Chains A and B, each alone.
Chain A
C-alpha cells in the first residue's frame, strides 16, 4: 500500500471514501478540473487521463484502485505558457469549439500516438503485427471513444495528423 496517487509529479493521498472515482478525485480532491465529466459512464471520453502511460476513462475507475499509480492529466501535458505540440496544433486547426471535450481529446491523442508507435493494432490496421502506418482512418478509429458534439472531428484529425507527421520526421 502506497496510499497515494502521483498526479503530474505530485503525490496526493488516497480519498477516505472508496466510492470516489478517479475522475472526481482529480476534480474535487486534487483540484485539477481540466479533466472533464461528460457522462460519468465511460461513454464520452471527456475524462480521459493517462495512467502509467496508458489512456483510460477516469470516470470508470475508483481512485482507490490506483494506489501508487502515476496519472498525467491535461494540466501535466502542457500549460498556457508551455503548451505541448498537440495543444498548439489544436489551437491552430480549431480542433474544438466549446472546449469541453478538448482535454480528453488531447490526452487520448497523446497516448494514442504512443500506441501506434508501439505497434498496437486497431480495427483500421491492415495487419495485427508489425509497424503501423499512421493514416486518417487509423486516427479516426483510435479517437472514436472521444465524442465531440460541436462536430470538430475534421479539425481534430487535422491537428493530430500534423503532430504525427512532425513526430515521424
Chain B
C-alpha cells in the first residue's frame, strides 16, 4: 500500500506532538554510533570482493586541448598491470547535484588541468599507482584558455536579475548608505573520506559501492554514463564519510571503476587520492560582490543592491547562487540584484555546503555592519528594524520567521553590549579584543521522497530507503520519527539506508534530507496507524501507541497476528512552494582576538541561535549547527583555493595547504536552538539545518575583527597578511 501526500497547503494537524512514545526531538545518541567509534562501520572502499583489482586515475597536465596519444605499452609490461582504460564513456567531471544524467564524458578532450583522462588497473594499489605515474601521455594543447574570472566578458545568470524601483536614486537620497565591493575565494568540501568506488558485475548487472549523497539521482547518472538501464544498477552507500556537496553527483572514479570491472570481468576498486579529490571534483566559486545599502535616519532600508560575479567551466549550468537569501532577508523598496557567470577553465564549480548563502551572506552582513556604523545604530537593532513583513520582491508571506527571536535571544545569551562600538576599546597584552554579529538565513527546500516502513510480526519496525546518512543523523531521526508514530523505543526500529533496492529517498543535499524523508516516513506511519486503529476498533486520532502497546490494551505483536504490515510513504512538495517563502533564520555572535604585531585573528567564542522548525534530535541538530559554525570560522579566517594564473591548476590541493579549521582553531562554541513548528515547511513541521550554521557566520567574525582592531576588510578569508595591511596606523 502507498501512503502518498502532496503538500499543497500547511499541515496544521501537527500529529507528532500528539504521540506518546516521547522520543521525537530528544537528544538521543546516534543509533549507528557504536559502529562508527569502533571502526566497524564500512565505508565505500572497505567492502571485500574476491579477486579485486585496483585502479588509479591518471589526470591531465594541460589546461585545454586533446590527448593525442597514451603509450599504454609503456606500463603494460610492469608487474601486475592489467589494463589502461581510456573508454570514451569515462566522465571528466562530477555530475552537478540533482543532474540525473551523465556529466561531461570523452576524457580525451581536456577542459581543465587535473581532469581524469585514463585509468590504470593492476593487481595491487602499489602497482597501479606506480604505473599511473609512469604512463607516457602526449597532448595537443590549445593555448589561451581564459583563467581569470574578472578578465573575461561574463554572462548574466537567468532568473536572478531583479530591478525594483530606483536604487541609484535611493542611494543618492539616503540619510546613510554603504557601497562596498567584497571578494570571497573558492572553497573545497574536503570531506574526510576520499571519493571511492568498488564495481562488481554479475552478467549485465552492476553493483557499485560508492561514497555518494544522492543515490536517487546517482543511479540515473551512472546508468546514463554507461549506456545501460537503471534496472541493471544497484548502488550501495550505507556509510558516507562526509559530503558537503562534493558527493551530490556521480563522480569520475565510479564510472571508471564500472567500465574497468566490465572490461576485466572482475571487481575493480578505484579510490581517488586526496589531491585528485581537490582537483577534479568540485570547487565553490570565488565571488566578486558589490553591496549597496541605503537607509533613512531611523536605519530603515530604502535601497538594497547586491550584484555578484562567479565563475564556472563553459557548459556548466551551475552558478553559485550568491543572492539566494538576499532576495528576502531585508526590506527596501528600491532593489537591484544581479548574478553573472564568467566562463573560465578552472576545475568545475559546484555545490559546496550552503551554496550561495555561504558566501553571499557574509558579504551582505559585513555591509550591514558598516551601515550600522554609518547610521550610528546598534547592529542587532539595525537588523531588527529591517525584518520585512513579507518577501519584499515576491510579496509572499513567510512560512515562519525566527530572525527577531534569534537576534534577541542570541544577544542576551552572548552578553552582547549594545553600547557604542568604537574599535580598539579592549586590549590584552598583544591582542585587541572585539565582538561582532551577523544574521543567518538559508532557504528551506524539500524534495520528493519515498520510504517503506514495515511492522514486523515480532513487534519491531523496519525502515528502508535509498536515502543516505552523510553524518547528518538520518539513521537516528528516522528511528525517532517512526518510533514516535508507532509507539516504539528507537532500539526497536531498524533503519536500512543507502541501497537503491529500497524506495527512492530525496538524497542528502540542500538541507532537505530530514524534512523530506522524515515526512515520507511520517506518511507511512500514519497509514500504518490507521490499519492498527481499525484492528483495535478505534480511530487513528484516538489510537495511543507506546512501548509496543495500543491504547493500554493489545500489544503490537498481538495486533499483527504473525503477519508483517507494510506501507510505502511517498511525500511530494506541492503548490505550497509557490505560496510562501520558507527559510531558516538565525544570528551569530563572535568574540575575536587580533594580534597587534602579527595580524593573526583567533575566535575566542562564538554563539549561534537558529530557528529551523521542529528539532528532530536535539543532539544531532546541535551538531549540525556546530559544524556550520566551524565552517564559518574556516571561511572567515583560513579557507581559500589558490589557482595558478598560468594554467589554472589548483595549487593548494591537499589538507596541509588548504587550511580547514583544526581543533585549536575552535574556541568556546554555543548553540541556541529556537524551537518552532513550521506547518508549511513539511508535514513534520521541520526545516533543514545542515547549512544554516555557516550562512553569515564568517561576517560575525569579520565584524568582530573590525571592532577589535579597526581593520575593515573586504576580502575573505581574513588572513594575517590582509589584516596587517588593513590595520589603521
Asked if A98 and B192 make an inter-chain contact with CB atoms under 8 angstroms apart, the answer reads: yes
Asked if B663 and A40 make an inter-chain contact with CB atoms under 8 angstroms apart, the answer reads: no
Q: How far is the CB of B172 from chain A (nearest CB, A)?
A: 44
User: Which residues of B line the A interface, CB within 8 A?
Assistant: 29-30, 32-43, 45-46, 48, 124-126, 130, 189-194, 239-244, 271, 273-274, 470-473, 619-620, 622-624, 626-631, 654-656, 660-664, 666, 669
Asked if A140 and B39 make an inter-chain contact with CB atoms under 8 angstroms apart, the answer reads: no
- Report if A36-B124 is in contact (Cβ < 8 Å); known contacts: A91-B30, A151-B629: no
Asked if B37 and A83 make an inter-chain contact with CB atoms under 8 angstroms apart, the answer reads: yes
Binds B, one of A17-25, A113-121, A126-134, A161-169: A17-25
- Neighbouring A residues of B30 by C-beta, 8 Å: 91, 94
- Neighbouring A residues of B45 by C-beta, 8 Å: 33, 37
Chain A residues 66-115 with CB under 8 Å of chain B are 73-75, 77-80, 83, 87-88, 90-92, 94, 96-103, 106
Q: How far is the CB of B72 from chain A (nearest CB, A)?
A: 22
CB < 8 Å neighbour of B241 from A77, A94, A98, A146: A98
Asked if A151 and B42 make an inter-chain contact with CB atoms under 8 angstroms apart, the answer reads: no
Asked if A75 and B46 make an inter-chain contact with CB atoms under 8 angstroms apart, the answer reads: no
CA distance A77 to B240 in the complex (A): 23
CA distance A83 to B538 in the complex (A): 45
Asked if A98 and B470 make an inter-chain contact with CB atoms under 8 angstroms apart, the answer reads: yes
- Report if A147-B192 is in contact (Cβ < 8 Å); known contacts: A39-B654, A87-B34, A99-B241: yes
Closest chain B residue to A39, Cβ basis: B274
Asked if A98 and B193 make an inter-chain contact with CB atoms under 8 angstroms apart, the answer reads: yes
CA distance A80 to B38 in the complex (A): 6
Q: Is A46 an interface residue (CB 8 A)?
A: yes
Q: Which 4 pairs of residues, A with B, have the shortest CB-CB distance?
A: A34-B39, A151-B630, A98-B471, A100-B241
Q: Is A144 an interface residue (CB 8 A)?
A: yes
Asked if B244 and A149 make an inter-chain contact with CB atoms under 8 angstroms apart, the answer reads: yes
CB < 8 Å neighbour of B192 from A91, A101, A144, A156: A101
- Report if A36-B37 is in contact (Cβ < 8 Å); known contacts: A144-B662, A155-B626: no
8 contacts between A and B (CB under 8 A): A37-B45, A41-B274, A74-B38, A91-B30, A96-B36, A98-B242, A100-B192, A149-B191
Closest chain A residue to B626, Cβ basis: A154
- Neighbouring A residues of B189 by C-beta, 8 Å: 149
Asked if B242 and A97 make an inter-chain contact with CB atoms under 8 angstroms apart, the answer reads: yes
CA distance A37 to B122 in the complex (A): 20
- Neighbouring B residues of A41 by C-beta, 8 Å: 274, 654-656
Asked if A40 and B37 make an inter-chain contact with CB atoms under 8 angstroms apart, the answer reads: no
Q: Is A54 an interface residue (CB 8 A)?
A: no
Asked if A154 and B241 make an inter-chain contact with CB atoms under 8 angstroms apart, the answer reads: no
Looking at chain B's contact residues, is the secondary structure mostly helix, strand, loop, or mixed? loop
Q: Is A51 an interface residue (CB 8 A)?
A: no
- Neighbouring A residues of B662 by C-beta, 8 Å: 144-147, 153
- Report if A151-B627 is in contact (Cβ < 8 Å); known contacts: A34-B39, A43-B655: yes
- Neighbouring A residues of B470 by C-beta, 8 Å: 98
- Neighbouring A residues of B32 by C-beta, 8 Å: 99
Q: How far is the CB of B126 from chain A (nearest CB, A)?
A: 4
CA distance A88 to B239 in the complex (A): 20
Q: How far is the CB of B329 from chain A (nearest CB, A)?
A: 24
Asked if B630 and A87 make an inter-chain contact with CB atoms under 8 angstroms apart, the answer reads: no
- Neighbouring A residues of B620 by C-beta, 8 Å: 94, 97
CA distance A98 to B661 in the complex (A): 17
Asked if A17 and B124 make an inter-chain contact with CB atoms under 8 angstroms apart, the answer reads: yes
Closest chain A residue to B189, Cβ basis: A149
- Neighbouring B residues of A79 by C-beta, 8 Å: 38, 40
- Neighbouring A residues of B629 by C-beta, 8 Å: 151
CA distance A150 to B33 in the complex (A): 15
By CB atoms of chain B within 10 A, which of A35, A38, A98 has the most? A98
CA distance A149 to B623 in the complex (A): 12
- Report if A147-B660 is in contact (Cβ < 8 Å); known contacts: A87-B38, A103-B39: yes
- Neighbouring A residues of B274 by C-beta, 8 Å: 38-41, 43-44
Q: Is A3 an interface residue (CB 8 A)?
A: no
CA distance A32 to B40 in the complex (A): 9
Closest chain B residue to A104, Cβ basis: B192
- Neighbouring B residues of A50 by C-beta, 8 Å: none
Asked if A75 and B39 make an inter-chain contact with CB atoms under 8 angstroms apart, the answer reads: yes
Q: Is A64 an interface residue (CB 8 A)?
A: no
Closest chain A residue to B627, Cβ basis: A151
CA distance A53 to B191 in the complex (A): 29
Closest chain B residue to A98, Cβ basis: B471
Asked if A150 and B669 make an inter-chain contact with CB atoms under 8 angstroms apart, the answer reads: no
Asked if A97 and B627 make an inter-chain contact with CB atoms under 8 angstroms apart, the answer reads: yes
Asked if A98 and B191 make an inter-chain contact with CB atoms under 8 angstroms apart, the answer reads: yes
Asked if B37 and A37 make an inter-chain contact with CB atoms under 8 angstroms apart, the answer reads: no
CB < 8 Å neighbour of A144 from B130, B190, B624, B664: B664
CB < 8 Å neighbour of A99 from B29, B471, B656: B471
Asked if B627 and A152 make an inter-chain contact with CB atoms under 8 angstroms apart, the answer reads: yes
CB < 8 Å neighbour of B37 from A35, A106, A155: A106
Asked if A74 and B39 make an inter-chain contact with CB atoms under 8 angstroms apart, the answer reads: yes
Asked if B29 and A94 make an inter-chain contact with CB atoms under 8 angstroms apart, the answer reads: yes
Q: How far is the CB of B664 from chain A (nearest CB, A)?
A: 4
Closest chain B residue to A32, Cβ basis: B39
- Neighbouring B residues of A17 by C-beta, 8 Å: 124, 126
Closest chain A residue to B46, Cβ basis: A33
- Neighbouring B residues of A153 by C-beta, 8 Å: 626, 630, 661-663, 666
Q: Is A5 an interface residue (CB 8 A)?
A: no
By CB atoms of chain B within 10 A, which of A124, A144, A151 has the most? A151
Closest chain B residue to A146, Cβ basis: B663
- Neighbouring B residues of A52 by C-beta, 8 Å: none
- Neighbouring A residues of B34 by C-beta, 8 Å: 80, 83, 87, 91
- Report if A34-B43 is in contact (Cβ < 8 Å); known contacts: A100-B241, A150-B242: no
CA distance A34 to B41 in the complex (A): 8
Asked if A149 and B192 make an inter-chain contact with CB atoms under 8 angstroms apart, the answer reads: yes
- Neighbouring A residues of B38 by C-beta, 8 Å: 34, 74-75, 77-80, 83, 87, 103
Closest chain A residue to B694, Cβ basis: A151
Q: How far is the CB of B238 from chain A (nearest CB, A)?
A: 11
Asked if B194 and A139 make an inter-chain contact with CB atoms under 8 angstroms apart, the answer reads: no
Asked if B192 and A92 make an inter-chain contact with CB atoms under 8 angstroms apart, the answer reads: no
- Neighbouring A residues of B624 by C-beta, 8 Å: 97
Instruction: Please encode chain A, from 8 to 34, with 1 for each CB lying within 8 Å of some chain B CB and 0 for all others.
Output: 000000000101100010011001111
- Neighbouring B residues of A74 by C-beta, 8 Å: 37-39
Closest chain A residue to B277, Cβ basis: A39
Q: Is A143 an interface residue (CB 8 A)?
A: yes
- Neighbouring A residues of B630 by C-beta, 8 Å: 151, 153-154
Closest chain A residue to B631, Cβ basis: A151
- Neighbouring A residues of B33 by C-beta, 8 Å: 90-91, 96
- Neighbouring A residues of B40 by C-beta, 8 Å: 34, 75, 79-80
Closest chain B residue to A152, Cβ basis: B623
- Neighbouring B residues of A73 by C-beta, 8 Å: 39
CA distance A19 to B661 in the complex (A): 32
CA distance A94 to B473 in the complex (A): 10
CA distance A140 to B470 in the complex (A): 25
CB < 8 Å neighbour of A90 from B37, B130, B239, B663: B37
CA distance A103 to B39 in the complex (A): 6
Q: How far is the CB of A9 from chain B (nearest CB, A)?
A: 16
CB < 8 Å neighbour of B669 from A37, A38, A102, A154: A154
- Neighbouring A residues of B628 by C-beta, 8 Å: 151
Q: How far is the CB of A70 from chain B (nearest CB, A)?
A: 18
Q: Is A61 an interface residue (CB 8 A)?
A: no
CA distance A37 to B470 in the complex (A): 17
Q: List 8 additional contacts besides A98-B191, A155-B626; criterion CB under 8 Å.
A: A83-B38, A94-B623, A96-B471, A97-B242, A98-B242, A103-B39, A152-B623, A153-B630
Q: How far is the CB of A96 from chain B (nearest CB, A)?
A: 6
Closest chain B residue to A148, Cβ basis: B192
CA distance A99 to B471 in the complex (A): 7
- Report if A149-B660 is in contact (Cβ < 8 Å); known contacts: A34-B38, A83-B37, A97-B471: yes
